[in-house]
Amino acid sequence: MHKFDTRDTLIAKFEGERSSGEISVSGTDAQGRSWNGTIKGKKFTGVIDGDESGSFSLNKTERLSPTLGAEAPEGAIRLFEGKDLAYWVHPKGITGFVNLAEIVGGKNRVAYLYSEISAAEKQDAVLLLGSDDGIKVWLNGTLVHANNVSRGVTPASDTAKVALNAGWNTILIKITNGDGGWGAVAQLTDSDGAPLEGISEKDFAKNDASASEYLEANDGYLTLWKISEAYTQDDLSPEDLFDVAFAPENDLNAAKWQIYKVTDAKEQPATWTIIDDAMQVRPGAGSVMTKQKFTDFKLHLEFRSPFMPDETGQARGNSGVYLQGRYEVQVLDSYGLEGKDNECGGIYKVAVPKVNMCAPPAQWQTYDIDFKAARYDANGNKLKSARATIRHNGVVIHDDLEIPVATDGGLDKEMSIPGPLLLQDHGDLVQYRNIWILETNEGE
């Protein structure tokens, strides 16, 4: 194990409350004596065991990454040097994606999507669904799918086999949101994944069924909706809100709706904020990615999670670094935690870090990554999975790790082609700086 930290001898363990720049504390020291007092700055003032008063300074030990400020080697591409976002764009949106984070906004709440579909005849169909986060679906008033989950949106994550009636059919979708991204995408196909024929969406702006061309042009993705207002209740978590029946589930006419049409998705210039030579997530603006795509490479970047003392778990300094836009290395304020696959340094649903090297919030950290892309033959058969060696704050947390699958929430799962570097907008004010990449394409 690397020697990556040095600590002073334990003085005491405290519990306390912050007020007006001071922290009122109580606890016991290594000898079992009780302490009561206040900490302001680096100084404790108080009473030990009821009769020893005084004050002294508390020394903080801070370990900084040895690769902070690493210079880009010859031949590297300096993706961000603190001045502008010229190398970056917001990704082309997912076809048919309804971005509730932009349209409705907020966290720990739910919203509903409503559509009407006309079928020329009675027929079986498949609803392919993607959601951020949980999703419930009703067809003609009958629940046909439910998945109470926290995830980023990926088209066709869920599948529901349904039977359409001849004439009009109603589709109601409930989407929960914890924090960060929020939305859904729905596609109607036959059992082989092909768009259905003789199907029309109701254009609510015109109140008619003249919109069949939208379904045909978008391969069956639903693009014409009514969107409800947001609903929440008594500070319930999104997982608990999933089973609360709000107005649209009981009476569609009791809900407030806005008409919405999904427009063609296009890449847009990056609009994150630049602060003190760092780019900062602009919540709701969406993730950013490089214009250029890469195969094999060495990557250096520095990141900083904000201090969010009132939040816990995945709501605390959350972001992510997607290699090729497909393989997520987690960014999270998980200082002092166990070190899971959804915490800082984890590869989501693939691998936990060998050691939790996460620094405290508001401290700059580093990722240094050697990445080799998956290999495929001329017929599209996979020969080798992607592999990565990842150093977090200078310490190896993944050593030549095989990454067999693309992680959820990425751009796509087309692992046979080059992809960009993507930085995730998960709704928190995470910052990035000093980002450079050196291509190391090694052939087969």
> What contacts 24+ positions apart, CB below 8 Å, involve 384-389?
386/323, 386/324, 386/327, 386/415, 388/323, 388/327, 388/347
List phi, psi (to 5°) of 86. Answer: -60, -30
pLDDT at 387: 98
Which one, of 253, 297, 273, lies nearest residue 433 by Cα?
273
Q: Tell me the fold of 98-261.
A: Jelly Rolls (2.60.120)
Would you list the DSSP string of 147-192? E-------TTSEEEEEEEPSEEEEEEEEEEESSS--EEEEEEE-TT
Structure tokens at 272: 């994150």
pLDDT at 8: 55
Is the four-CA dihedral 317, 321, 325, 327 of positive or negative sign?
Answer: negative
C-alpha 6/C-alpha 206 separation (Å) is: 69
pLDDT at 438: 98
CATH number attached to the domain at 77-92+268-439 = 2.60.120.560
Structure tokens at 294: 């890469």
Contact, 320 vs 426, CB < 8 A? yes
pLDDT at 3: 47
**Omega of the bond leading into 133 within 30 degrees of 0 (cis):** yes
Which residues of the chain are modeled with pLDDT < 70?
1-10, 50-52, 55-61, 207-218, 264-265, 443-444
- What pLDDT, in 10s, does the model give residues 247-284? 999 999 999 999 999 876 678 899 999 999 999 999 87
Strand partners, 172: 114, 138
Hey, do 77-92+268-439 and 98-261 end up sharing a CATH topology, with the first three levels equal? yes
pLDDT at 2: 45
pLDDT at 50: 65
Domain ranges for the chain, please list them: 12-57, 77-92+268-439, 98-261
C-alpha 111/C-alpha 324 separation (Å) is: 32
Q: Mark residue 4 as left, alpha or beta (left: phi above 0; alpha: psi -120 to 50; beta: remaining).
A: alpha
pLDDT at 217: 57
- Integer distance in angstroms from the first to the last C-alpha of the chain? 33
Structure tokens at 295: 């195969």
Burial of 422 (0-12, 13-18, 19+ CB in 10 A): buried
Structure tokens at 339: 């070190």
